[in-house]
Amino acid sequence: MSFADSFLCMIGYNIYNIDGGQIEKKALKIIKTKARDNSRVPMHWDDSQYAGFSDVKPWLMPTDQNQVNVEKELASGEIFDYYQKLIKLRKNEKLISYGHIKMFLKDHPQVFAYERFLDNSDKKLVVFTNFYGKECQAKLPKEYVNKSYQVLISNYEHNSNQFKQEIILKPYEALAVVI
């Protein structure tokens, strides 16, 4: 936020009547786009009125606690278990905790891909992520084409164990394989 925007936010409420509320509207627009309060609601512990965070109304009201909350996730969700698997992999897999990183597919607009490797091993960890809500495909570097792999972790089922000339990633897919 620029100094001018910060200053406008500070004084906006004090002088909004001068211009029919236009300064206040601009100040609120700046606050809405720059402030982090819009994304910082109390932790959703359960689906109760105040999400298990408090017995009284908090300053920032929880939203969607009926659908998204810790109690529900622990009982039937997949995200907590997925992160537990990631933590276990980080603790047990030297390629993750000590490996060097080599980026590839750098120019692909939708795929973030890299490989991790150790100096004293031919084993490689190759990671592909699609951070977008639509399927995509990417042409693989020649060194991966026709290589066999073992899925280490993924948020989708995989039936193949060999790279082709390109990889197809589903929406928001993360795939880590060892070759």
Count of the separate structural domains present in the chain? 3
Instruction: With H, G, I as helix, E, B as strand and everything else as coil, classify residue 127.
Output: strand
Specify whether 32 is located in the same domain as 71. Answer: no
* Per-chain mean pLDDT for the chain: 85
pLDDT tier at 95 (50, 70, 90 boundaries)?
A: very high
Strands 111-117 and 136-139: unpaired
Give the CATH number of the domain where residue 134 resides. 2.60.40.1180
Specify whether 10 is located in the same domain as 62. Answer: no
What digits encode the pLDDT tens for the residues 29-52? 777 777 766 667 778 899 998 889
Domain that holds residue 157: 79-178
Place of tokens 């100096």: 119
CA distance 45 to 66: 10
Are 130 and 154 in contact by the 8 Å Cβ rule? The answer is no
Entry pTM: 0.69
Per-residue model confidence (pLDDT) at position 16: 47
CA distance 176 to 128: 6
Specify whether 33 is located in the same domain as 121. Answer: no
Phi/psi for 39 (5° steps) reads -110, 5
